[in-house]
Amino acid sequence: MNQHAPKISDASGRPVIRQLDEAAVNRIAAGEVVERPASAVKELVENALDAGATRITVDYADGGKTLIRVTDDGCGMTGADLPLALSRHATSKIDGSDLLDIRSFGFRGEALPSLGSVGRLTITSRVQGEEAAQIAVTGGRVAPVKPAALSRGTVVELRDLFFAVPARLKFLRSDRAESQAIADVVRRLAMAEPTVGFTLRDVTGGGDGRVVFRADPEPGDFFDALHRRLAAVLGTEFIDNALKIDVEREGLRLSGYAALPTYSRGSSVQQYLFVNGRPVLDRALFGALRAAYFDVLSRDRHPAAVLNLICDPQRVDVNVHPAKAEVRFREPEAVRSLIITSLRTALSGAGHRASSTVGTATLAAFAQEPPAFAPRVYQMERPSQGALSRALAYQAPPPQPGFAEAPSARVEAVAPPASDLTERPLGAARAQVHENYIIAQTATGMVIVDQHAAHERLVYERLKRQMAESGIAAQALLIPDIVELSPTDAARILDLSVDLYRLGLGIEAFGGSAIAVREVPAILGQVDATALIRDVLDELSDLGDSQLVQTKIEAVLSRMACHGSVRSGRQMRAEEMNALLREMEATPLSGQCNHGRPTYVELKLSDIEKLFGRR
């Protein structure tokens, strides 16, 4: 059987072109716009935001399959507006004269007619000063407008999604999975609009339901409002370990928060990117975010960030896909450069800072389960440092002949330095334990430093500075490697030839679609040039740009730093330990090793005392 035979043909079997009816057109549009209940929620909430709503409530039942209801306090619609709102490509957001000047969430005029074609849709709305009105559409059949009761705004109720196309129901996931997708959509929009209040309720089974998510409108300027909203949506742990980003260059502005490398995640679940306040899932933007962190995170760790790119709407095309999750920039390189440079500058500016979650995890590892009946705690005043030293000296047992210290438990005590270094961020070295961990005292607690990991990062940063100052030496190949590529791939990589040359990789055209590799970075040693070129092309295809050569070079520098750093098991003198602490304070990114792991743990004295019942 020929699966490609035309469905409509004349007597001779020739295909006949016919105009589809409105119902079929709307169902086709629904297939693009409404993939699942979360898609419907996104479209309806964005309509509410475009209407100027300050409070939006979303109710759903059975994962949105049987009910989605969005209530807002926006400007509303009149009875005359309602039938037009259900017509395809009817919108109040643009006049159609300039599709590159989009300043609203919606603009295509497809969401409401699409939803009405595949479900049971009811819209009730009221404009201030006029009577409320209601319209219903079931499977594409529109009922007349009738009077209704509503104080203000709009209520859009969608029941039995996909009842008109039951085959689509088979592709939906479980109620729980669909509910999670709805919650994710609402949270993303709540982050985009911190001055708007959002409430999400699961009303499965009837009644008032259960509040799944709530975020009240945040007052104040944008960053204050966003700071509080992110704390409510993502938790205080994220915002406590995030760096403020606010950079403007060449008419592009990047604002938001990016987390420290030591707050990395096992997946990209905490990456939220927006363009002019619109949540997007753009591969190029996520690639730029990953590139900004590639030097401070291992490949299996992912940064956390909430970033909004603000630009003139004329410089970005959001009319790429009906779901509007993808965008196209007029100057993609400028956008990528802004993201990478802004984030790297912020991370370097954080200096030696590491995330507070490191200390929290350490304390959690120390903490024991409290007893069912906790004994009464008798608090005594903390003695002075001098009194404590005299007491310890008095209580110290005399040396016992015949007893040797176990090497694994060796503690190198360090006398307090002449100048008080405890006021410095990483404090004053007091001891070295297990020949790898430096114990330093700060004004408010203590710091435990992994001497090998810390020195590895310091040496690595030193090597990178030297490479930036003196450049990357190239090694000429006696016989150039000829790499055969497709014409498209050859053109793409030759466009990067200038950038690659700066990194020590010299390439040039070699007739047809072949390229000749004449030089490779000397630091890489023996190189399979063909494999390297193809890896660069793969990364270009995946991310739109390639950091692969630089990544390989810096990987070599990282290995050199590892071998050139202070090794575990080496005993360090007091002055060496304090010198290491001071260099860490002065070196950007020294809070994590070359693989994104923390180089030190900070414990507050108040938290340590809690471990011993001193509350």
More confident residue, 173 or 565: 173
* Per-residue confidence band for 376, with pLDDT thresholds at 50, 70 and 90: very low
pLDDT surpassing 90 at residue 321: no
Q: Regarding predicted confidence, which is higher, 429 or 555?
A: 429
Select from 518, 604, 589 the least CA-distant residue to 558.
Answer: 589
Pull the structure tokens for residue 213.
């998510």
Structure tokens at 188: 């993303």
Which range scores top for mean pLDDT: 300-304, 387-391, 567-571?
300-304
Look at 25-29, 302-306, 436-440, 502-506 and tell me which has the smallest mean pLDDT.
25-29
Instruction: Report domain 222-350's class.
Output: alpha beta
Helix or strand run (H / E) with residue 10: none
Q: What count of Cα atoms within 13 Å lies in the side-chain half-sphere of residue 153?
A: 18
Task: Give the pLDDT of residue 194.
Answer: 94
The residue extents of the domains of the chain are: 22-213, 222-350, 426-615
Task: Tell me what pLDDT residue 319 has.
Answer: 62
Distance CA 47, CA 111 (A): 9
Pairing of strands 67-72, 316-317: unpaired
Which CATH entry fits the domain spanning 22-213: 3.40.50.170, 3.30.565.10, 3.40.50.261, 3.90.950.10?
3.30.565.10
Strand order across the 506-509 sheet: 474-484, 514-521, 506-509
Instruction: Count CA atoms within 13 Å of residue 26 on its CB side.
Output: 27
- Specify the pLDDT at position 96: 41
pLDDT of residue 267 exceeding 50: yes
Q: What is the mean pLDDT of residues 50-77?
A: 95
Selection from 18-22, 188-192, 460-464 with the highest mean pLDDT = 188-192
The pLDDT assigned to 495 comes to 84
Tell me the helix, strand and coil percentages in the chain, rounded to 5. Answer: 40, 20, 40
415 pLDDT band, cuts 50/70/90, is low
Q: Identify the CATH number of the domain defined by range 426-615.
A: 3.30.1540.20
Grade residue 300 by pLDDT with cuts at 50, 70 and 90. Answer: confident
Which is more confidently placed, 323 or 154?
A: 154
Q: How confident is the model at residue 20 (pLDDT cuts 50, 70, 90)?
A: low
| CA gyration radius, the chain | 31
Collect all residues with Cβ–Cβ distance below 8 Å to 47 and sequence separation of at least 6.
70, 105, 106, 111, 112, 156
